[in-house]
Structure 1
């Protein structure tokens, strides 16, 4: 089979030149210069005339392509671009885009019909199990996507681009699906008790090839070659979904009356605010319209009555459908100042990070060192002997059962944890108070390390000094996680 013979037959069937290129297996930018490719594969090139812009030549207007239903026509491209520009795409500050075009099933059926037609015409030169054309999905990437990117002055960015979802329809869809349902019941009859198979694009791709369905059966349901359609594809909708943007930073918790996330007990709020809510409401509105879908993540958490000081605790906001994917230093500073107004939380180093960097958050929960300062009280004056018993420069190992207070959200386990160092000192204002500087493995429950919780943490500070000890106040003073980087060094 010569390429010229193939194209001549496709022309006879009123197939457009872009689809002719698909059947000639054109790739990459070969769709951008049709004449050059036709010359290379030894096919006579005859430029198609676009009559769509001249009302006086309506009678001369070209037929709608029976294999793409006008998907690659200049008229469709212009309608597509105008439909996109009529959306609120301008509010999205994204340099990249991703295009997802949902095509009707009838379009796949027409590809299948042309496959059977080529088999009838060229016989053994056509594969029975592999489509003779470049798929519509691939052709859309090669033909339409570059046009859209050029018009919008954006790059194609599958990882972090604005998602354009375009839904198309055609008047023949219902009839085509109905005929396929009848054909499917003949080719793949249901067994007793078996549910009927839903007609879908994947069903056609998996079960409908000339190798699996005879030409006679297919022709009983569909016209071969596909007939010239009376109208082109229609636009149902164009929707926009912004990329997920990840905003990272470090927060300092300044209040001893603030929960990490919204605290609801028996259906009622226990506290009016939380770290999560303060951060989200001062950052998210710069990036999205729906703050309820923003996901707050942090490297561990503090109890309600525990402060987090020093450089703070790393956090990330995962913001879906964001209309901003970049952040200026001035805007970041504005967010930080707004959060500082709360006087409960302070934030620094706000910045955009890549999704791959979120691994730092999870690593920090269990693998990093954390430094604490605990103010504790015993029943009598702190002695030199007590201080010596609690002086562990080289650290020690503990076995710690899940604390009773968190059993409602954590499974019961006994976890080994490392206390890297323990350094005691006496409070000058009150000799019954001990200040403990503790460096531990992340995931250690400090309150239980101090009082022992009825022997559930072994050893504990209480067991080391041989008497009861209460923890009055606790601060996180350092988290050994150098992420995100300081904005001063970026």
Structure 2
């Protein structure tokens, strides 16, 4: 009978009880975690296949009911083959009832122990320790599993042999067999990890906190070399392109793609028998906890003319002792404990330019943060700590934001207006009427070539930039202050508009006023971006 014969084929080939149940088409997750249910579930799957088989004759069913029922039952060793510790050792009774001997069960030829050792107490202990050692404050977790490529190869070979021996066996589980193995592992291991760590296991949906488990198999490469015979051209090409496929000549994706092109007869010609029994099971190559990024936004003022926005290095040598980024992020990350971080802002000012008014919007992306549960009071305390630690900058409106909100920052950089105040000097003096004329000028479109001071790191180009309005008032016969309200198109260079950059910005302030003008100091007075929202603190 089909069900009994398929079960016998899988058991004789060397599949563990969980892999056998997967091949038999059982997809009820809770059956795999409870070993006491696996035997019954396997019997049910065998019976179901028997009922569906065209090979069952009604006359035989009527005359041999008891015999058939006995034939449907699975081997009594089903449970024992999944009761596994480090070495898959179980106690078996010997010939003498008073003596016992240890029997070592073979590693599964399909999952290479993923559903055996990978679900054992030792494995659970290692996984739970990885979560605890990570120190993350997430309430729940999900699991991600990466398997050796040879598991995919072994699965394809077993399916081919199974369907050759039993052509009427359903093939619906073949396409996503590896996905099912992963799901079974997660559903067996996940609840036990949850109990061990005090966190809720989340399966089937994305969770912000994930334990990434990568399995390795010592003979993975040796197993996969048979692909050179099965699909010679494809894998010979991949081996020649060693730079492109340095670590992935025999990847799961490549093996799956190859088997889609191969016929069963081509596979059977090279692989007429089941895969060999592994000498040892898979092991955990890496266990990495990954928390989704957390984003914290705010606005900063910069009062120093000797402070870069980000750490400033030239040819590996640090130019200044600190930066806006470090003054903010060092204090924040002392609490958040992120693996890495990225600082972004709505535009940036030069080292010698102050940022006044309501400040410049910024965002800090914390990569793999350990602490994400920060109350409003805690965030306010962090803001106060930053402000008390230095007089060079000040932070306001500090808050946690969603990733989708970051588009506001980019839009602000490219579209919103900014207000500047420039202290300018006309060495040979200037006419007050020229200052009055500035405020009456309509919008002014500049043609700016890439400034000489940044030409070493930016491509040469001419860009149009618009000045919305200008006004100026005198300081003395040589100095005056010019207030400039500009569009926020990326790359408007204010200093070059004032002194012309050797004529590379046209028109420029000196040309408009009819005298030689240079800039002494520049301040950003306002960044007209109403984000992030005000916090009232």
TM normalised by structure 1 equals 0.82
How far did residue 25 of structure 1 move?
Answer: 4.3
Deviation digits for residues 364-399 of structure 1, max 9, x if unmatched?
222111111222233577655223311147533222
2:22: which partner in 1?
Answer: 22
Deviation digits for residues 77-131 of structure 1, max 9, x if unmatched?
433321112234351123454533332343233212311221221226566xx87
- Report the RMSD for the aligned CA atoms in angstroms: 3.8
**2:254 aligned with 1:203:** yes
Q: How many residues are treated as equivalent by the alignment?
A: 477
1:447: which partner in 2?
Answer: 495
Equivalent position SS for 1:398: strand
How far did residue 252 of structure 1 move?
Answer: 0.9
Distance across 1 between alignment mates of 2:136 and 2:162 = 46
After superposition, the Cα gap between the structure-2 partners of 1:414 and 1:106, relative to the gap in structure 1 and judged at 3 Å, is closer
Task: Write out aligned runs for 1:467-482 (5 A).
Answer: 467-482=515-530
Distance across 2 between alignment mates of 1:478 and 1:455 = 28
Residue 464 (structure 2) aligned to one of 406, 413, 416: 416
After superposition, the Cα gap between the structure-2 partners of 1:148 and 1:458, relative to the gap in structure 1 and judged at 3 Å, is same
Residue 48 (structure 2) aligned to one of 42, 53, 75: 42
Distance across 2 between alignment mates of 1:231 and 1:451 = 74
How far did residue 184 of structure 1 move?
Answer: 4.7
Deviation digits for residues 187-207 of structure 1, max 9, x if unmatched?
86858x956893333332121
Which stretch of structure 1 is more off in the superposition, 375-384 or 356-365? 375-384
**2:267 aligned with 1:244:** no
Task: Write out aligned runs for 1:321-400 (5 A).
Answer: 321-340=368-387, 341-379=389-427, 385-392=433-440, 395-400=443-448
1:71: which partner in 2?
Answer: 114
Distance across 2 between alignment mates of 1:265 and 1:232 = 51
After superposition, the Cα gap between the structure-2 partners of 1:484 and 1:212, relative to the gap in structure 1 and judged at 3 Å, is farther
2:161: which partner in 1?
Answer: 117
After superposition, the Cα gap between the structure-2 partners of 1:213 and 1:188, relative to the gap in structure 1 and judged at 3 Å, is farther
2:328: which partner in 1?
Answer: 279
Question: Do the aligned partners of 2:15 and 2:110 also contact (CA within 8 Å) in 1?
Answer: yes
Residue 100 (structure 1) aligned to one of 144, 150, 154: 144
Equivalent position SS for 1:114: helix
Structure 1: 5+ residue runs without aligned partners? none
Equivalent position SS for 1:409: coil
Question: Do the aligned partners of 1:81 and 1:148 also contact (CA within 8 Å) in 2?
Answer: no
**2:458 aligned with 1:407:** no
Question: Do the aligned partners of 2:336 and 2:369 also contact (CA within 8 Å) in 1?
Answer: yes
How far did residue 302 of structure 1 move?
Answer: 0.8
Distance across 1 between alignment mates of 2:442 and 2:359 = 26
How far did residue 24 of structure 1 move?
Answer: 4.3
Deviation digits for residues 148-191 of structure 1, max 9, x if unmatched?
26444233564732342332335x5465245x266358686858
After superposition, the Cα gap between the structure-2 partners of 1:236 and 1:455, relative to the gap in structure 1 and judged at 3 Å, is closer
Equivalent position SS for 1:273: coil
After superposition, the Cα gap between the structure-2 partners of 1:231 and 1:384, relative to the gap in structure 1 and judged at 3 Å, is closer
Question: Do the aligned partners of 1:400 and 1:458 also contact (CA within 8 Å) in 2?
Answer: yes
Task: Write out aligned runs for 1:153-302 (5 A).
Answer: 153-154=199-200, 155=202, 158=206, 160-169=208-217, 172-173=219-220, 175-178=222-225, 180=226, 183-184=229-230, 190=236, 198-208=249-259, 211=263, 214-219=266-271, 223-224=273-274, 226=275, 231-265=280-314, 267-288=316-337, 293-302=340-349
Which stretch of structure 1 is more off in the superposition, 415-424 or 3-12? 3-12
Distance across 2 between alignment mates of 1:285 and 1:160 = 21
Distance across 1 between alignment mates of 2:362 and 2:309 = 12
Distance across 2 between alignment mates of 1:185 and 1:205 = 11
Deviation digits for residues 421-472 of structure 1, max 9, x if unmatched?
2122334xx4643332221111321122223333322222222221122322
After superposition, the Cα gap between the structure-2 partners of 1:438 and 1:187, relative to the gap in structure 1 and judged at 3 Å, is closer
Distance across 1 between alignment mates of 2:453 and 2:527 = 23
Question: Do the aligned partners of 2:447 and 2:462 also contact (CA within 8 Å) in 1?
Answer: yes
Structure 2: 5+ residue runs without aligned partners? 50-71, 93-100
How far did residue 488 of structure 1 move?
Answer: 4.0
Question: Do the aligned partners of 2:331 and 2:386 also contact (CA within 8 Å) in 1?
Answer: yes
How far did residue 328 of structure 1 move?
Answer: 2.6
How far did residue 306 of structure 1 move?
Answer: 0.9
After superposition, the Cα gap between the structure-2 partners of 1:440 and 1:42, relative to the gap in structure 1 and judged at 3 Å, is same
